[in-house]
Amino acid sequence: MDNRALSQVLGEIADLLEIRGDNAFKIRAYRTAAETLATWPQAVAQLNEPQLRSIPGIGKDLAARVRELAETGTCAYHKELLEQFPPTILDLLRLQGVGPKTVAMLHATLNVKSIDDLAAAAKAGKLKGLKGMGAKKEAQILASIEERAKDSGRHLLSDTAATAASLVDFLHVHDRDVELIPVGSLRRGRDTCGDIDILAVGGQPGLMDALISHPHVERVLGQGDTKSSVLLRGGYQADLRLVPPESRGAAMQYFTGSKAHNINVRDRAVQLGFKLNEYGLFRVDDDSRVAGETEEGIYRALGMDWIEPELRENRGEVEAARAGTLPKVITLADLRGDLHMHTTETDGKDDLEAMAQAAQRLGREYIAITDHSQALAMANGLDEKRAVAHAARVRALNGRFANLTLLAGIECDILSDGRLDLSDDCLAQLDIVVASIHSNFSQESPQMTDRILRAIENPWVDVLGHPTGRRLLQRDPLKFDMSAVMDSVSRHGVTLEINCQVERLDLNDSHARAARERGIPLVISTDAHSVNALSRLQWGVQVARRAWVQAGDVINTRPIDEMRARLRRNRRA
DNA sequence: GCCGTTTTCGGCCCGACTGTTTTCAGTCG
């Protein structure tokens, strides 16, 4: 069992305990353990009991549950809870505005067991009239069910990548020599992925049996000599295709997509008297093979430069590839610093020194410590006095970590009316201010637009953090006029963030591209709340690459002095 | 269920907002 699978079971136990109305601190213990294990750097299933107990938040009981899961693949306690509530009831908790109490009440009174049950009850008007429910609540529930339906069957990019990687590892045990290449939306780096497509170059048909024997396979959707599909635990569909070496490039090109990109490329092939399919590029008149072993060969034969997978969305890349004007997109190695992270001073899991040490180990040249401001009371946000004192502690660490500079910043809340949560006087004393929205998400567009514009006008705002507030597969972006906001940040020299939290990836690719085209500076930051999360920069880079972003567009690719000179507070004439 | 130079019990970040109420329960982060 990998760490994510273990973490998922513990998380489900927490959810079920919550629905059952169990002890809140016990629930929290399971929840924090789930979070810790999900990103733990070692394979947790390989650890023995004392090693497990040395992990913070894992005690006697949780260590035993983890050992049980590692050894048997299941856990009696989890099963016992699932006998009280069907597993589909957990989906209800993911609905915006529906929590454990509501789920328990709906289950007890209307025998609601799934999202479908709830939708039917809401449509029949059975919710209003129940304790604590009115017409508004019923409408809100229906709306969030609709929001969810849009995303059904999709998964976060990072989860998909991890699942694909574990599948590849598993298949390699059965055939060490086969080359396994994940393609599809995963290779294109989309923020969410529908299914997992893996090419097996030069593999033997026995590989199909191996796939089907994977312990996470719930159902075999189809099995043939060259293609098999399975449904994995967690709702992933995975397709494995055997490809002969001479078709390697053609298959990669074909199965990486996107569909729209491929249509455009095939159209180009037809114009030139070729036929392009997953086996190769062929001349129409005599069916002779022109290319197919490599993607480069195919694109070259079509008079194009090779196109980075992230760009293959038919957003002008085919034309640019023909003209030789494709961008040299940013890579992870281009980034020198990280300008958004939290510590135990507010809601981070690791303290200032630990974060600095980890950043140094990762080779960052500079980091900004940006803990929360006072409006986020539940995160123990900083008031002005604490903000200034915390900044002093951050600056005092400079010199302690070779080749790492620490900047004292804050992630300051944008209040409902657009004022900032701390005074200008306080913000002026810091090195960087990231301004973000964490409350009142449901304002209508005019009000929300005014709110953000007002915040941007504050002279001490350097960066707009996770600008659209979306949470992938959970919450739609805030409603506001993005174009007006981009005009304003452009005028005021404010930087827009690409936030690397895997469920945010905010800005998204198309907004980031629009920003880049307007010359708006970007920053790619982790928003890490723990040491482990500091390595998350790759996901933001993925978004940036899809947005045609080049190293020069991103301020944290610069050496520290140049980066600081680009911050709004240091740009005043 | 975890944790502990206040350690084997008794703590465990908690305020804002919404929709339902007539003083509050539930959700969010």
- Look at residue A489 and tell me whether its pLDDT is greater than 90: yes
Nearest residue: Cα versus C1' of B12: A25
Query: DSSP states of A110-173 as a string?
Result: H---SHHHHHHHHHTT-SBTBTT--HHHHHHHHHHHHHHHHTTT-EEHHHHHHHHHHHHHHHHH
Nearest residue: Cα versus C1' of B3: A57
- Look at residue A347 and tell me whether its pLDDT is greater than 90: no
pTM attached to this predicted model? 0.83
Give the model's confidence band at A206: pLDDT under 50 very low, under 70 low, under 90 confident, else very high.
Answer: confident
- Nucleotide showing the shortest C1' distance to residue A95 CA: B27
Nearest residue: Cα versus C1' of B1: A26
Nearest residue: Cα versus C1' of B25: A132
- Nucleotide showing the shortest C1' distance to residue A128 CA: B20
User: pLDDT tens digits for A65-103?
Assistant: 999 999 998 999 999 999 999 989 998 988 878 889 899
User: pLDDT tens digits for A443-470?
Assistant: 888 899 999 999 999 999 999 999 999 8
| DSSP assignment letter at A373 | B
- Nucleotide showing the shortest C1' distance to residue A17 CA: B1
| Sign (positive or negative) of CA dihedral A482, A484, A486, A492 | negative
- Our measurement of CA A307 to C1' B4, in angstroms, reads 58
Inter-CA distances, A297 with A34, A187, A424, A452, Å = 46, 19, 58, 48
- Our measurement of CA A146 to C1' B28, in angstroms, reads 20
Average pLDDT over residues A120-143: 87
pLDDT of residue A119: 92
- Our measurement of CA A114 to C1' B12, in angstroms, reads 33
- Our measurement of CA A462 to C1' B5, in angstroms, reads 44
- Nucleotide showing the shortest C1' distance to residue A22 CA: B1
- Look at residue A332 and tell me whether its pLDDT is greater than 60: yes
Provide φ and ψ at A548, rounded to 5°: 65, 25
- Our measurement of CA A351 to C1' B29, in angstroms, reads 20
User: pLDDT tens digits for A516-531?
Assistant: 999 999 999 999 998 9
- Look at residue A213 and tell me whether its pLDDT is greater than 80: yes
- Our measurement of CA A454 to C1' B17, in angstroms, reads 22
- Our measurement of CA A471 to C1' B22, in angstroms, reads 36
Give the model's confidence band at A190: pLDDT under 50 very low, under 70 low, under 90 confident, else very high.
Answer: very high
Give the model's confidence band at A380: pLDDT under 50 very low, under 70 low, under 90 confident, else very high.
Answer: confident
- The β-bridge partners of A382 are A373
Quick one: what percent of chain A has pLDDT higher than 70?
99
Nearest residue: Cα versus C1' of B20: A132
- Our measurement of CA A86 to C1' B19, in angstroms, reads 29
- Name, in order, each residue with C-beta under 8 angstroms of A120's C-beta and a sequence gap of 6 or more: none
Q: Give the Cα separation of A132 and A103 in Å (integer).
A: 13
- Nucleotide showing the shortest C1' distance to residue A29 CA: B1
Average pLDDT over residues A277-289: 91
Three-class DSSP labels, A245-293 = HHHHHHHHHHHHCCHHHHHHHHHHHHHCCEEEECCEEEECCCCCEEECC
Give the model's confidence band at A378: pLDDT under 50 very low, under 70 low, under 90 confident, else very high.
Answer: confident
- Look at residue A474 and tell me whether its pLDDT is greater than 90: no
Of A246-250, A253-257, A443-447, A480-484, the poorest mean pLDDT is in A443-447
- Look at residue A572 and tell me whether its pLDDT is greater than 80: no
Give the model's confidence band at A573: pLDDT under 50 very low, under 70 low, under 90 confident, else very high.
Answer: low
- Name, in order, each residue with C-beta under 8 angstroms of A329's C-beta and a sequence gap of 6 or more: A308, A310, A311, A544, A545, A548, A549, A550
- Nucleotide showing the shortest C1' distance to residue A136 CA: B19
Average pLDDT over residues A148-155: 76
- Our measurement of CA A325 to C1' B21, in angstroms, reads 63
Q: Which nucleotides of B are covered by protein (CB under 7 A)?
A: 1-3, 11-21, 25-29
